[in-house]
Amino acid sequence: MTATTQKPTLLWSFRHWSVLLAGAVLAVAVLWALVPGWFTHANPTAIGATDKLLPPSGAHWFGTDRLGRDQFTRVVYGARASLLGSVVAVLIGVAVGSVFGALAGWFGRWTDAVVMRLIDVVLSIPGFLLAITIVVVLGYGILQAAVAVGITSAAAFARLIRSEVLRAKTSQYVEAAVASGARSSTVLLRHVVPNSLGPTLSLVTIQFGIAIIWIASLSFLGLGAQPPSPEWGRLVADGRNFMASKPYLVIYPALIVAAVVLASNHLARHFAERQKR
């Protein structure tokens, strides 16, 4: 085998295994969120009066916090709030963005002008600052944080859906549906929107990673998940006062967040590369 043929093979092998690894990381995180009892039998909110601030060991893999709660158990159960909140945020972003993007791209003219100017205003505001503002209005909690992040991300989906709808409008199957006498709403819902959602897959994966970071950040600031509910950002906030003496209280949940977000971004890049082929 020559060097010119070996290099692409090694590159393909690295990409293949990195995608599998990223998928495995996300799969474990999803299982943590859905069936945490498979990984730990401890109670994430149970206080241990004699087990406060214990270092990592065989009995407590990630150590214990200031109230004696098992940190690994809280990280596992925290995946539910972090991941399900991110899923809700992405679904809201896709739904709201699809509605506004489809209306702007299909009807055009003043509808397009009004919607796109509204989207430009939203995009001109720093996203995380806008999310904080929405949470303050809605109230504190993981659901409110998910709604805030979803509304903030809707503008990006709207712009992408609009461009895809503009492309789909000129396709032959849409022209045939219009020529057959189908109503605009029917053509839009049955033909245009479903065929415009495919290219959003990579953006969905990217926004999922962003949503994890933002929801964790909101919980870190006390605007998301409220005590004693475990959530990755909340766990980092609870352990920050012990960073000097008990760094594992911050390091482990922070590493989990980083691993899941990096895995999500890697899969997003993989999907984007496949769509270009």
CB-side exposure of 223: number of CA atoms within 13 Å? 23
Provide the pLDDT for residue 233. Answer: 92
pTM for the model: 0.84
Question: 77 falls in which pLDDT band (50, 70, 90)?
Answer: very high
Provide the pLDDT for residue 84. Answer: 93
DSSP H helical ranges for the chain: 3-34, 71-107, 109-124, 127-138, 142-169, 172-179, 184-187, 193-196, 201-220, 232-239, 248-276
Provide the pLDDT for residue 182. Answer: 65
**Percent of the chain at pLDDT above 90?**
34
pLDDT at 276 over 70: no
Q: Identify the weakest region by mean pLDDT among 94-108, 150-164, 189-203.
A: 189-203
Q: CA 143, CA 135: separation in Å to the nearest integer?
A: 9
What digits encode the pLDDT tens for the residues 239-268? Answer: 888 888 889 999 999 999 999 999 988 888
Q: Identify the weakest region by mean pLDDT among 56-65, 106-115, 122-131, 153-162.
A: 106-115
Residue carrying structure tokens 């206080």:
47
Provide the pLDDT for residue 267. Answer: 85
**Averaged over 194-215, what is the pLDDT?**
82
What digits encode the pLDDT tens for the residues 13-45? Answer: 556 788 888 889 999 999 999 999 999 888 888
**Percent of the chain at pLDDT above 70?**
84
Question: 184 falls in which pLDDT band (50, 70, 90)?
Answer: low
**Averaged over 71-82, what is the pLDDT?**
92
Provide the pLDDT for residue 49. Answer: 76
pLDDT at 277 over 70: no
Provide the pLDDT for residue 219. Answer: 92
Return the bridge partners of 64, or none: 70
Provide the pLDDT for residue 2. Answer: 47
Q: Is the peptide bond before 228 cis (omega within 30 degrees of 0)?
A: yes
Q: The domain at 65-267 falls in which architecture?
A: Orthogonal Bundle (1.10)
Question: 3 falls in which pLDDT band (50, 70, 90)?
Answer: very low
Provide the pLDDT for residue 1. Answer: 44
Q: CA 33, CA 26: separation in Å to the nearest integer?
A: 11
Domain boundaries, the chain: 65-267
**162 near 104, Cβ under 8 Å?**
yes
